[in-house]
Structure 1
Amino acid sequence: MNTCIKKVVLKSGEIRWRFVMRLGRDAADKPIQKTYTFPTKKAAEAEWARLKSQKATGVLVLPSALTLATYLESWLGGKRNLRVGTRNTYANYLKPFTERLGNVPVQKLTKTQVDETVDWMLSSGRRIRHTNNPGLTATSVNRALTVLSQALDSAVKQGLTPRNVVTLVERPTCTPKQTDTWTAQEAAAFLNHVSGHRLYPVWLLTLCGLRRGEVLGMRWAGVDLKGTRAREHGFPAGTPTITVEETRVSVNGVIHAEQPKSERGRRTLPLDQEMVSALSALQKLQRQERKAAGPAYEDHGLVCVDELGRPYPPDGHSKRFKRLAKAAGLPVIRLHDARHTCGTLMHLRGVPTAVISAWLGHSSAAFTMKTYIHSQADSLAQAGLTLRSAVRVKKRLPVAAVR
C-alpha cells in the first residue's frame, strides 16, 4: 500500500487522491515539490509510479516557466557552427512561432497552438506580398516546422519539456515547384547577348554553375590563368583553374564573407579557353580602371566589382541578371536557376551524376540528381523519338482486322 497517496474529501463531499512529489532541487539548492491530485486512487498510483520511474532513470522533467521565445533565442544562440545566412534563415522561420506563441511556457506548448499558428502562416503569414496570395507556401511552412522541431527535440534531450509536440502536427501538403532552366540554345543566346558586357566573365561563371555568393566572392588570388598550381589540385600542369574558397551573402542588408557551404563546396575547377580569355580581359580592364580612379579605387581583390573596385550587392546582381535575360528576349529565370541549367545540360550530355555533383560542390550525388537535374521539353521530345525508333510497327492493320 502506498502511504504517500492521501485520500482528500472536498467541501462538496467529493473524494480526491493526492500526493506530493519531491522532483529535485532548484539553482539555490532548495527542494522542488509539486502536488498532484486525481479523481481516483488508481490514477494517482499510476502517476506516482510513472514519476518515480522517471526520477530513477534521470528523465524526469522539472516544472519550468521557461517561455518558448526565451528558449528559442537560447537554442539558436547555441548553434555555433551555423553560417550567418543560415542563422538568419532559421530566425525567420521561427519568427511566426515566437511572435504568436513566444509567451507560452515550453512545457505547456500544445499541438493545437502549433496547428493554429500553421493555419495562420498558410493563410496570412507572408510578410512581403510579391503575389496575391497573403499566405506562405507549404514548403516554407514545413521548413519552419522542421526548425522548430529541431529546437524542441533539443529541449526534450535537455529535460526542459517531456515531449516535442511538433511531431504530432500534420504537415501541409507541398506541391513541387517547377524549376525553370534554359536550353543549351537559350544559354548560348544569353552569353552572345552579354559577350560585350563588362561582366561577361562573371556571367560565364554563373552559367558554369557557381552559386551567386561564390561568384561574388571569387578572388583574383583564386584565379590561376597560367595553371601554375594545377598539379596541386590533381590537374595536368598548365591547366588554368579557379578555386572557390569564399562566398559573399547579404543578411539584412549587410554583406558577410563566409566559407563555402560545405567541404565539397570548397573546390577547384578547370577553365576552358573562353573563360581564360574573358577573365584575362577583365583583369586587364580592372588594372586600367584602378589607374584611372587613383585613390578613389577600392581594391578588394575580387573579380566581380564595379569601375571603382566596389563589390556588387547580391540582390542587385540578381536583378541585373534578370534585366539582361529580358533584354536578350529570353525566358526570365532566377539567377540561381542558371546553376540548375548547368547541372541539367551536363546531365543531358552524359556527364556522370557524381562528376556533376563535384562540379557544383554538392555534398552528395543523390541531392544533385533530386534537386538540380531537370527534364526539358526538347529532351523529352527526343526521348519519345528514341523510344519510337526502338519500337516500330512494320505495318498497321485495319481496325476491323483486330479481334
Structure 2
Amino acid sequence: MSAGKLAAIGILTLCCFQAVAQKNKSQLQKEKQQNLEKIKETEKILSETSTKKTNSIGELNAVKQRIRQQEQLITSIKGEMNILDSEIGENNDIIRALEEDLRRLKKEYAAMLFAAQKANNSTTRLTFLFSAESFDQLIMRLRYMEQYSETRKLQADQIIKVAEALGGQVREIEVRRTEKNKLLTEEEEENESLDNLRKKQNSIVRSLEKEEKKLKKDLAATKKAVAELDKLIEDIIREEAERAARSSKKTTEAVVALSSSFEQNKNKFPWPVSSGFVSQKFGRQNHPVLKGIIINNNGVNIQTREDEKVKCIFEGEVSRIAFIQTMGNTVIIKHGDYLTVYAGLKEVFVRSGQKVSTNQEIGKVFSNTDGVSELRFQIFKNTTALDPQIWLKNM
C-alpha cells in the first residue's frame, strides 16, 4: 500500500475517533452544565437556610447535597480530561504516522523526479516511442508517459495534503493541551471548594452534637406529627375501601382505568416542586446527627426554596386536606387505587373533592423556624407505601 493511501486511512481513522470523542465529551459537558445548575439551586437553598439559623439539620442536609454535587462535578471534569488525554495520545500517533507518510511520499517523489529527468531527454523519449513494435504499442506508450506525468502531479498534491494535515494535527494538539491545562486549573479549584465544604459539614455536625437535647425534642415533635399523618392516611384508605365496596361497576372500571394509567407513568412523573433535592430518603435510615437513632420514612423529604409552589404529579381528585401541628397543611390526592400525599404546606390552593390535573399548583411549601422549606411527599398503593424516587423522573 502506498504512503498516500496510508495517510488517507490515518486521517479517516482520526476523523472517526474524533467524532466518537466529541460525542462523549459533549455528553460530559452537558452533565457538567446540569450539575452546575443544580449547584446554583442548592446554594440558594443553603443561603436561605443559613440566613434564618446556622447549624441546623436543614443546613447540614444542604451542605451534604452540595458535597455530592461537587463530587459529581469533579468526576465530570476528570472524565473530560480522560477524553482529552486519549485525544492527545491519538493525535500524537497520527502525527507520527503522517510524518512517516510524508517521508515516504517525498522519497517516492524524488525517485519519480529522477526517472522523469532521464525520461525528459528528447532522444530517450523518441527512442522509447519509436522502438514500439506496433502502432497500438506506440499509442500505449504515449498514454503511459501522460499517466506518469499525471501521477507525479498527484504525488506532489498528496505531499501538500499530508503536510497540511500534519500541520493541522500539530495545531489541534496544542488546542487540546490548552483545554487540558484549563481543566486542571478548574479541577484544583473545585477540589479546594470540596475540601471547604467537608470542613463546613464537620463543623455543623460538631455544633449540632452539642444540641442533642433540642434535636431529640424536635425529633419527638416530628414523630408525633408523622404519626398523626399516618393515622390520617390509614383513615382515608379505609374509607376509600368501604366506598369501593359500595361502588357500581361503572365506577369500579373508572378506578381501574385511572390506576392503570398511573402505573404506566412510573419513572415519568414530574417532581412536585420545580427545584430542590431529596433531604431524607424512603425507608429506614440513621439520624444525620443523633447516634443510634433510626428514622423510618414512608416517602421522601424534598428540601426546596422558600415559598416554592407545590404541584400535583398526576390527575386525580383531592381526597382530604388537613392541618397537622408543626408540619403545616397536608393535601391527599387519590388516583384510583393510588394516593399521593403532599405534607408541609403553608398555603393550599385546592379544596376537598376537587378534580386536579398533572402539574396543577395545589399549594405553597411551609418553612419552619430554622428557615428550612421542606415538602414531605408520599405515594401509596392501597395500604402499601412506595418509594417516590422510583416513580418520579430523574431530577
Structure number with greater CO (CA < 8 Å, separation at least 6) is: 2
TM-score range, shorter chain: under 0.3
Q: Which is higher, the Rg of structure 1 or of structure 2?
A: 2
More helix as a share of residues: 2
